[in-house]
Structure formats: structure tokens, C-alpha cells
Amino acid sequence: MLGGLVPRNPDWRPPPAGGVTIFVEDNGIHTGIVVPKVAAGVDWRSDFPAADLGDPRYAGYDYLAIGWGERGFFLGTPHWSDLRPATILHAAIGSDDTLLHVEHIPRPAVTRHTRAITLRPAEYRRLATTIRAARASGTALPGYDRHDAFYPARGHYDAIRTCNQWTGATLATAGVRVGAWTPFPVTVLRWF
């Protein structure tokens, strides 16, 4: 928890006007970054196309929710009731088998589990570059529902480098003020 209190990019502030609004969301265990499909010269539609979805009509939504995590954890727990101690232990020990989980969604509402962050266009482009760099080559895998898919990813997942740490590090690379180590949702969301 202490690592989440030490800021990276301590002087960062949102732009006074304009910019690109993104969101950080959490479901109590896992955080992700929500981005507009087209903004500031970044177009995600060819990165995560409609053809990868169970129902391509969901690609009509204007936002993508993107999270990173360990493959066995993602694929083995479509519902929290599916979570098993062995799955947690395997992920905590470490794995280089990671995925991006991408959902096509409408613009989210700001709630206690979803926070808005406004980035300067250059910051948003750095964020996009970092997310794109996390994707590895390979074909999409079916998601949990008709509006999402999984994509092979780069990176090592373990108890230190969690899905929440990926979210924090990705935001920090864009220049956003966030905790130095963000292993839990609260260590990410407390900054926004």
C-alpha cells in the first residue's frame, strides 16, 4: 500500500481546457483503462476490429476498456465464482503468458469505480503507444461475452507486476501522476 502513496510524475496536472478524456475503472479486483476509439490522431478500430467480437455490432460503441493480465487467470475466471486458489497461486508465482482483455463499450459514467482523467493530446498518444506495445502478435481469442475479446500480450505477470500495476505503469508512461507501485485497485484509483 505504501508504494501506492509515493507519486510518479508528481507535478502532473490535467490540462486546464481541452484534451482527451479517458477513464480508469475497477471491478474490485482488476483495473483497466477506457479509451475513446478515435481521438487525438489515434484510431483503435484496426487494432481491435469488429471481426474479433462474438457480435460485431458491439463495435459500434465508441469506447474500449483495455486491461492486461495473466492468461490462466483471465480465461479460467469468466465469473468471480470460478476463481480458485490454484489460479491465484499460479498467477502470483509468475507467468509470461499474458493477455489484453478488450471490451467494446459505450462511454462510461463516472462512479466510485470509474474515474475520468483528461490527458493532453501528446499524453494520450504516449498512452496509446504503450498499450499498443503491450500487444503481442497472434490472433484474438473469444471473450467472456459478445462484446469483448482477448489478445496475446507482452509482459511478465506475478505478485509484484499485477494487472493493477500494469494500469498504473501505463498511465505513468503517459505522464499522469499515479502511485509508484499500484498492485491493488485502490492504489490506482486513489489518485483520481
The mean per-residue pLDDT over the stretch 10-26 comes to 96
What is the DSSP annotation of 167-186? Answer: HHHHHHHHT--EES---SHH
pTM given for the model: 0.93
**40: pLDDT confidence band, cut at 50, 70 and 90?**
very high
The mean per-residue pLDDT over the stretch 132-160 comes to 96
The mean per-residue pLDDT over the stretch 51-79 comes to 93
CA dihedral 8, 18, 122, 105 (to 10 degrees): 80
Evaluate if residue 9 carries a pLDDT over 70: yes
Taking the C-alpha atoms of residue 26 and residue 113, their distance in angstroms, rounded to an integer, is 5
**83: pLDDT confidence band, cut at 50, 70 and 90?**
low
**1: pLDDT confidence band, cut at 50, 70 and 90?**
low
The mean per-residue pLDDT over the stretch 73-89 comes to 76
- The 10 Å CB-count burial string (b at 16+, else e) for 127-164 is bbebbeebbeeeebeebbeebbbbbbbebebeeebbbb
CB 1 within 8 A of CB 184: yes
Evaluate if residue 78 carries a pLDDT over 80: no
The mean per-residue pLDDT over the stretch 31-50 comes to 98
- 3 or 45, which is more confident? 45
Domain boundaries defined on the chain: 15-176
Residue 138 backbone class (left: φ over 0; alpha: ψ -120 to 50; beta: rest): left
Evaluate if residue 186 carries a pLDDT over 70: yes
Backbone phi and psi for residue 43, each to the nearest 5 degrees, phi listed first: -125, 110
Evaluate if residue 125 carries a pLDDT over 90: yes
CB 31 within 8 A of CB 68: no
Averaged pLDDT score across all residues of the chain = 93
Worst-scoring range by mean pLDDT, 26-30, 86-90, 155-159, 183-187?
86-90
